[in-house]
Amino acid sequence: MKNILLFIIPLSLVFGIDQAIKWFFVINNFNYDGNIISLVLVYNKGVAFSMFAFLEEWLKYIQVALLVAIFIYFWKNIESFKSYIIPAGIIFGAGISNVLDRFIHGGVVDYIFWHYKFEFAIFNFADIMINVGVACIIIYTLLKKNTKT
């Protein structure tokens, strides 16, 4: 039960925060032009940097299948899952939120645009949380290897 909560709580928090922010932007059609970061509402039909946008309607089903496949892998390798349960919850919460956008809005709701000294792709809170989750897994893995040697 404890392991399930360690997965469900970060998943729910990331999902809830991300959806609340996105709905704020969608309902208010919110935009802010800043010097370093602008907040600009866009609907990304692809993935990072709008790649695979040509897959259109199929992309959301591919992403659902990918999330299910990763979850099945973790379920079958439960000991690995336990080692990364909190970051996995963070990643799944963010991934589910972005996929839900595709079903509701026709694309992922993005709104953060970094344009100081260079222009970066427009992204959202869920994208940041996916990177945080992956970074946690990498750091944990490296620390785990160092303690074994």
Q: Give the H/E segment covering residue 41.
A: strand 37-44
**Residues 6 or more apart whose Cβ sits within 8 Å of residue 21:** 111, 124, 125
Catalytic residue among 18, 33, 101, 127: 127
- 101 assigned to active site: no
The burial of 145, by beta-carbon neighbours within 10 Å (0-12 exposed, 13-18 middle, 19 or more buried), is given as: exposed
Q: CA 75 to CA 81: how far, in whole Å?
A: 7
- 110 assigned to active site: yes
Q: What are the catalytic residues?
A: 110, 127
